[in-house]
Structure 1
Amino acid sequence: MDRLQGILTGTPMPAPADIIRHLSFAAIDFESAGAAPGETDQPVQIGIARIDGTAGAIRTWTSYIAVTRPVRWTASKIHGITTEMLAEAPPYISLWPPIKEHLEGTVAIGHNHSTEQRFLRQFPGHGFGPWLDTLALARACLPALPSHSLGDIASALGLTEQISAIVPGKTWHDALYDATASLCILLHLIRELQLEDAPLDRLGFALTF
């Protein structure tokens, strides 16, 4: 049904038989405010890195997000975002147009993407997907790595300089940096495994349709 809706609107969802090199991929990452027991967490930053065709150029977009309660110090300690930094940030609901623009018609990518899917549920019926988990992909392709964090995978594959060149001035736990890292890891593994001309379902072990 989601793919039929996409066809009717002119933006079909990628299908299992689609050839990887012709697909669009968009990696997404959120940083959050943190939550005490019984509270609902809130996003404080979103980052998306997109490529149309595996030989295309990577495009990036990011935004801070307004919150309705203070950012917890435990979360701020990780990503460095404070409540004061969000004083002029837009409300999350107002970011729907750029989010839709960057994710529509793509294979959506996240590194253990449960948080990303949860925050996107605030836009009911968005229809993004399928989803590809770079954590599952890296665990399958690089089982000998002692850690499969984004930073350790990127370092092991020699991608850190490339990621930093795409998003200069940013670092780990910045939403755009982490999203860009996920996309670069995926593209590297696709090329190393020579999967450009394979159907998307060759990555089925890391995909959710």
Structure 2
Amino acid sequence: MTRTVIRETIFTAIDFESAGTASGKTDAPVQVGTTSWSLDDGISDTWTSYIHTDQDITWSAQKVHGITRDDLKDAPKLMLLWPHLKRRLASRAVVAHGHGTEKRFLNAFPGHGFGPWIDTLQLSRAAWPEISDHSLGAICQTHNLHHSVGKIVPDRTWHDALYDAAASIVLLEHIINTFELHNSPLSSLISPDTSAWHRLRR
């Protein structure tokens, strides 16, 4: 897939929200969201689910995303979401803003083979090194992308998994358009040569 041209690629962004790290326990996902995009079809197939966990949601995590035990009451366990994740991530370029958490939680499915991975945090730092804050919310605010995100997922906000996945995919589209990368190889997003990008920058 890494030799594919960007305009021929389907991208799926993924985001997890978590229960937070409690003493003596590993973190656990409590919500997942995905949003797909391609140059020809635009945004498609937004999907989200809460995820059951036996762990308590820490106060600090709940303060960030607002998810409570009541939200997870009838939620499926992560392993039961495999068919949904496989359909949306297999044979796609997988996008996340700082992909460490997403990769770690997907390790629940050994040998899943998802990828290649596109990290919009890495791309944002490379594309706009002069900006001091490259967090997803800050970079979208700087480039006035939050309005586009809101149209895709109305009635949601930051730190909702579906909203953050949609924001990542909107940011990726903005980067591709700004640097006119449509006919570039997919590898230019995996290991960006920003000197080439800036020669093409509008």
The TM-score, its normalising length taken from structure 2, stands at: 0.92
* Pick aligned residue for 1:58 from 28, 43, 50: 43
Instruction: State the secondary structure of the residue aligned to 1:84.
Output: helix
Map of 2:196 onto structure 1: none
Map of 2:166 onto structure 1: 180
Map of 2:197 onto structure 1: none
Instruction: State the secondary structure of the residue aligned to 1:77.
Output: helix
Per-residue Cα deviation, 1:122-154 (whole angstroms, up to 9, x for no partner) = 001100000011000000001111200111111
**Matched residues in 2 for 1:144 and 1:155: separation?**
15
Q: How far apart are residue 157 of structure 1 and its match?
A: 1.2
* Correspondence 1:14-163 to 2 at 5 A: 14-15=1-2, 17-51=3-37, 53-59=38-44, 60-163=46-149
Instruction: State the secondary structure of the residue aligned to 2:16.
Output: strand
Per-residue Cα deviation, 1:10-37 (whole angstroms, up to 9, x for no partner) = xxxx22x211001010100000001223
Give the share of equivalent positions with the same residue, in percent.
Answer: 47
Matched to 1:39, the amino acid is K
Unaligned ranges ≥5, structure 1: 1-13
**Matched residues in 2 for 1:80 and 1:153: separation?**
22
Kept in 2: contact 1:172–1:178 (CA 8 A): yes
Instruction: State the secondary structure of the residue aligned to 1:58.
Output: strand
Kept in 2: contact 1:62–1:175 (CA 8 A): yes
Matched to 2:105, the amino acid is F
Map of 2:182 onto structure 1: 196
Instruction: State the secondary structure of the residue aligned to 2:113.
Output: coil
Unaligned ranges ≥5, structure 2: 194-202
Instruction: State the secondary structure of the residue aligned to 2:42.
Output: coil
Kept in 2: contact 1:22–1:54 (CA 8 A): yes
**Matched residues in 2 for 1:106 and 1:206: separation?**
19
Q: How far apart are residue 181 of structure 1 and its match?
A: 0.4
Kept in 1: contact 2:117–2:190 (CA 8 A): no
Kept in 2: contact 1:134–1:206 (CA 8 A): no
Aligned residue pair count: 192
